[in-house]
Structure 1
Amino acid sequence: MELASHPVPSGCMAGRSSRPHQSGREREGDLRRLRDLLRSAVLRGAFPDGLLPTEAELMASYGATRATVRETLAVLRREGLIDRRQGVGTHAVVKAVVTQLVEAHGVEPPGQESLLNRRLRPHVLDRSTIPLPELAAARLGVPAGTPCLRLEYVSLFGDEPHGMATNYVLAPEADRLRDKPFVHDWYTLLHEAGVGYEESEFIYGCAPADAATAARLGIAEGSPLITMEQLIRDGDGRPFNLAFIHVRGDRFLFVSNAARRHP
């Protein structure tokens, strides 16, 4: 099937010539590397108008066999990132939310509108006062059973779910958040409720989606999720909010920049 032509994005270098007689290990390596390159480009919106290069162009640019190219595109299609139609071509069908890592802490980059700020919207699953569970109490440094606000929601970008969060909030912050309309992102809610904070800490990990989480996020059970455990402190260093967050790695990209300082 010959698909519509489109230039390869700048920066893609032509590889070695296609190898029709690859070993299984060589083919697996080529598949993995091409998958990583194309997945990254699709999620970042690197292809103009979302149109990917043709199979022949990918073969020439990456030195891959036709079988490797087709299998790579099949993987991306199963992941829901692209769509292929004869006579039309291969198109990206999603673009991830790309945001600076500092925005996850509620810090908006100077001079830049936050992607999180007022662009996400919540679907609240639970908003109730409960006795704080023992393990959560240990993280917040208070006795188990202390009353807290449990606020759980799915975060939507457009109409698509991107993540789910469960927050355990202590008083007095809980009192301000309990009845405040939750319209945008978490940090906008804190701001509108008059809840100040000075420090946030994240612990990042990954986990497969269980059946319940997968159903909420519209993904297959076992799909990889970015996990985050967040602790937010007030101006006196007192932790008042503990959150457990699950983010779709196929729809959310965090960017972190750092530079060495020379004396």
Structure 2
Amino acid sequence: MSLIRNNPVAMYLQIADRLRGEITEGVYEPSGRLPSESQIVARFTVSRVTVRLALEQLDKDGLIDRRKGKGTFVAGKQVRHRIDTLRSFHESLKVQGFDATMRIVELTAIETPSAFIPLFGTKCALLERLHVVNDEPIALGRSLLPTFILELEREVAEQQPTYALLKDKAGTDIVSAEIAIGARAVSPRITSLTGAAENTVLLVLERTSYFDNGVCAEKSEFFIRPERYKFVLGNRIPER
């Protein structure tokens, strides 16, 4: 549908209204990324100044986030994590089309907490990684893992999802996981790392995963900014 060129409503407002409607309809799912300025210029055959005015209007309305060097995104775009699918935290971001990366905070050997000695023995590996989407931290993952993970190069540990790391090193699949979801206040360190506001209560996903031989593969906690994340559970009506 073309713009009305002689309409008393400025063309930039017409473009803003079109984009607003598309945002509401979910056209830019799953990543939330809008077309570039050049693409919008070509679509509506208008000047770049007109497009920028339209985007500024949407920005004023709180509908978009404009990120220098990254593009324009639907404001408050939430990550959706299906808890009925066995998938690494990082992988769940990638499959939704997000520009997701990980940054290692800690990779070291530790004395296993007493409650988990039956799972890992007296020594285990601690892997902490910051999960980042479009250069914005959304979660901190803290995992207790078998000590063979310490043989990995940091570059590999920073790029591969936890399940892929474990499968590659153990040579066996992860086939099941127990997951619990809650919310709690966290330490100032975690608040700072995730970029959450002071005194924010974070979502916490606790996960214990198992290899196909029944051995525990990992014990993880993910501290998640609640305004950026949504857990989803799918169900089917059983056949009669």
Q: Verify: 1:187 aligned to 2:168, yes or no.
A: no
**Structure 1 or 2: more helix by fraction:** 2
Q: Aligned partners of 2:80 and 2:149: how far apart in 1?
A: 31
Q: Verify: 1:157 aligned to 2:115, yes or no.
A: no
Determine the structure 1 residue equivalent to 2:61.
Answer: 89
1:101 aligned partner, one-letter code? I
**Secondary structure at 2:106 match in 1:** strand
Once the two structures are superposed, residues 146-185 of structure 1 have per-residue CA deviations (whole angstroms, 9 ceiling, x without a partner) of 1111111111122111111111112xxx315531412143
State the identity %.
17
> Can you give the 5+ residue segments of structure 2 that lack an aligned partner in the other structure?
1-12, 36-54, 66-74
Q: Verify: 1:101 aligned to 2:83, yes or no.
A: yes
Q: Aligned partners of 2:61 and 2:134: how far apart in 1?
A: 26
Q: Aligned partners of 1:240 and 1:87: how far apart in 2?
A: 45
Q: Aligned partners of 1:197 and 1:207: how far apart in 2?
A: 28
Distance 1:107 1:49, change over 3 A: closer
Q: Is the 8 A contact 2:107 2:150 kept in 1?
A: no
Trace 1:21-40 onto structure 2 (pairs within 5 A).
none
Q: Verify: 1:212 aligned to 2:189, yes or no.
A: yes
TM-score (norm 2): 0.62
Alignment RMSD: 3.8
Shift of 1:210: 2.9
TM-score (norm 1): 0.58
**Structure 1 or 2: more strand by fraction:** 2
Distance 1:9 1:129, change over 3 A: same
Q: Aligned partners of 1:86 and 1:241: how far apart in 2?
A: 44
Distance 1:195 1:116, change over 3 A: farther
Distance 1:240 1:186, change over 3 A: closer
**Secondary structure at 2:193 match in 1:** helix
**Secondary structure at 1:129 match in 2:** strand
**Secondary structure at 1:98 match in 2:** strand
